[in-house]
Structure 1
Amino acid sequence: MRFNILLLSLFFSIWAFAQEEEVYSIYFDFDKYNLKPEQAEGVVAFIQKLDTTKVETIEIFGYCDDRGKDEYNYTLSTNRANTVKNKLLEKGIKNKIIITLEGKGRVLIDEDLLDNVPEVRSKNRRVDVVINYKPAVVNDLKIPGVYNKIPKEPVVGDRIYLEKIQFDRGSSKLNIKAKKELDKVVRDLLRNKKISFEIQGHVCCTPSYQTEAIDRGTKKRELSSNRAKAVYKYLIAKKIPKIRMTHKGYGNSQPLGKGSFFDRRVELLITKVDN
């Protein structure tokens, strides 16, 4: 029963990637790559829950436990990944959105440091299906006071959703694309010198007992805070006065209620408008 619950449940990784994509895992028996009936039912249930109109890409990764030779385990993990891919295709997922299919081979463990080696090995005999969603379009939200750019007549409490400011998975470092988008934000802020604002970082999909996600750079649960700080530092470097800005991470405490892909975000909350 416990195995079936684990198998059929849609869950989010508790590691650094948790906040960036939805992950579904299928666990296999030792030395097997075929899907048992209950496993196939779990995959079907997972597909039925997906809003495929919002899915941008899918990645499939197969794994094995640490026993056996490398070549054999790479073949086995690849066969597991292909088995799951074929089931997804059978249930209507388009092949063109499956951009990665990879057998990772065995997952090494240190038996001396683990309390329950058999359980750890059973969880390493798996395939992870990673769902990457399309970028959020804030205009689709239709939430009063939430905009995709600074409104013509801003008021305190308005929120500017920086929908194109995307970070790499589990990272608080600004990539090239994010910096280019922030340059556009800088131009807007320089034209609207009367507003002050708080830079807010948000994440989604952390476990229910955690409100914040892990920053893989620091290995600490401070991802939303670090992302907000990264934007803050970039704006300072672009000559936006410090006196106009504060920054804060809110973890997953302020979901928009429109789906997890909208909750991975950075916002500017207008806190003051000078006359």
Structure 2
Amino acid sequence: MLNKGCILILFCILLSARVVFSQTQKITSFFFETDLSVLDERQKEAFRQFASELDTKDITSISIFGYCDDRGRKGYNDTLSVKRANYIKMLLEELSINTDKVKLLTGNGKVNLANPQNVIEQRAYNRRVDLVIGYTLKTFNNGDNILSDTLKVGDKIVLENILFENSRSVLLQESIPVLERITKIIKEKKQYNIAILGHICCNPPGRDVKDFETGEYNLSQARAKIIYDYLIYKGVEAKRLSYKGMMANFPLGKGEKADRRVELQITGINK
């Protein structure tokens, strides 16, 4: 859900976003049980989902940082944190992700408690590996021709360069200038009623995947809704819009990157 705080953040980003950014990073963390250097099944599922959304051809660098909680001897924690980092590298290799792009792999040992409260939660968070994926420059089109005057009910338009954090319904910053241009065009083309359709990849038909922002299994719908909420916030009439999660029901046959998409579909034409 795009709450008032998120809208304010997006608005502030929009004020400063005038150029294409030279580097994109996706950062996520995976969490380990005490004394273990392998993930449990729940975290393995999170890793597989994260990896399924990586555009591997665009990766420029991978950095892996391992950590431990504050218990145990220094030498033990240093070794365990390195093992955890190497384990994540191994999982990347198993999924045929080119680990030659790993520019930094390090074990940072223990993380001290930040405060005396919530000790269990702090330690659970500190037993982790941070995975940082660097991407190449993204080139954005301005969307001038996305809504011609000859469209018919049922026609669909794929929105290029609308990017989300992996496994989340959170827009990446570099999507905002593109989305702003799309919003302007939709406001100008008042004759069209439009549905925003969210798609995911790499899943059986009829099944959505987890949105790690909310924990719910509705990622395709949540991504469509954040676009819907943004358009309304920017002044598009709500009666002209709808949204729907399409799950993985409509692969394009052009690879995983093409299947992870957001589309506009014409649902009505106002005379």
TM-score by structure 2 length?
A: 0.58
Contact 2:58 2:136 in 1 (8 A): yes
Which of 174, 183, 188 pairs up with 2:185?
188
Q: 1:70 aligns with which of 63, 77, 81?
A: 77
SS state of the match for residue 230, structure 2?
A: helix
Report percent identity of matched pairs.
28
Residue 135 of structure 1 contacts residue 261 of structure 1 at CA under 8 Å; is this kept in 2? no
**Cα shift readout 1:100-151 (whole Å, capped 9, x = no counterpart):** 5334689xxxxxxxxxxxxxxxxxxxxx99897997999xxxxxxxx97112
Q: Report the 3-state secondary structure (helix = DSSP H, G, I; strand = E; otherwise coil) of the residue aligned with 1:182.
A: helix
CA distance in 2, matches of 1:82, 1:15: 15
Q: 1-side partners of 2:228 and 2:242: how far apart?
A: 7
Aligned partner of residue 262 in structure 1, secondary structure = helix
Q: What is the root-mean-square deviation in Å for CA atoms of aligned residues?
A: 4.5
Equivalent residue for 1:27?
none
Amino acid at match of 1:231: I
1:190 is aligned with what amino acid?
K
3-state SS of the aligned residue for 2:265?
strand
Q: Which amino acid aligns with 1:261?
A: K
Query: What letter corresponds to residue 156 of structure 2 in structure 1?
Result: R
Partner of 1:102: 105
How many residues are matched? 201
Structure 1 gap segments, 5+ residues each: 1-12, 24-50, 88-92, 107-127, 139-146
Match of 2:14 in 1: none
Query: 1:20/1:237 Cα in 2 relative to 1: closer, same or farther (>3 Å)?
Result: farther
User: Are 1:163 and 2:160 counterparts?
Assistant: yes
Question: What secondary structure does 2:45 align onto?
Answer: coil
Which range is displaced more, 68-77 or 212-221? 68-77
The alpha-carbon distance between structure 1 residues 153 and 16, as it changes in their structure 2 partners (threshold 3 A), is: farther
- For 1:222 and 1:269, the matched residues in 2 are separated by 20
**Amino acid corresponding to residue 151 of structure 2 in structure 1:** P
The one-letter code matched in structure 1 to 2:105 is E
- 3-state SS of 1:221 partner: coil
Corresponding residue for residue 45 of structure 2: 14
1:190-205 alignment runs, 5 A limit: 190-205=187-202
